[in-house]
Amino acid sequence: MSRKPYHSRQSADWFMKNSYFSRYMLRELTCIPIGLYTINLMAGLVAFAQDQGAWVDWLVSQRNPIMLLLMVLALFSSVFHTITWFETTPKIMKIIKKDGTLLPGRWVLAANWLAFAVLSLLIIAFAAFYS
């Protein structure tokens, strides 16, 4: 059973022709540095669960220029991912108030950023307290 797939006539570089589409593609592409860095974090988690030598070795490996490049790319990507992910949240989450009107999107957005701030602070404060 083979069906000819539909091939659109849109050019391959369609997302380069309009800044809105470029931003969309950039947003989608953030997943690549994020994924690579996540694999690195999984290696770090494994190292941490093992002995102290493995943990220190993993930390030293993070200062390697290639890892630093990945870190910088992943940091920019993840911040852009956060911004764009939070932007879409009010469009997906429609919260209806008791009076039947919608909770304004900016409140949903603000709640997201508040959660981001609290979690970020907790993670860093926790590590700073115990190290």
Partner 1 sequence: MDKKHLKPIYWGLFAGGGTLAALILPALIVLFGVLLPFGLIGFPPTLHTHWQGFVSRWWVFIPLALILFMLLWHTVHRLYYILHDMHIHVGNKTRWSLYAFALLILVLTLVCGLY
- Separation between Cα atoms, residue 89 and residue 86, nearest integer Å: 5
For position 95 contacting partner 1 by CB under 8 A, the verdict is no
What is the chain's alpha carbon radius of gyration, rounded to the nearest angstrom? 21
Identified binder of partner 1 from the candidate list 2, 46, 65, 111, rule CB under 8 A: 46
Identified binder of partner 1 from the candidate list 1, 66, 96, 127, rule CB under 8 A: 127
- Separation between Cα atoms, residue 1 and residue 3, nearest integer Å: 7
Instruction: Report 11-30 residues binding partner 1 (CB under 8 A).
Output: 12, 15, 25, 28-29
Distance between alpha carbon 58 and the CA centroid of its chain, in Å?
A: 22
Write out the two tokens for 102. 């919608």
Identified binder of partner 1 from the candidate list 16, 75, 95, 110, rule CB under 8 A: 75
CB of 101 to partner 1, least distance (A): 26
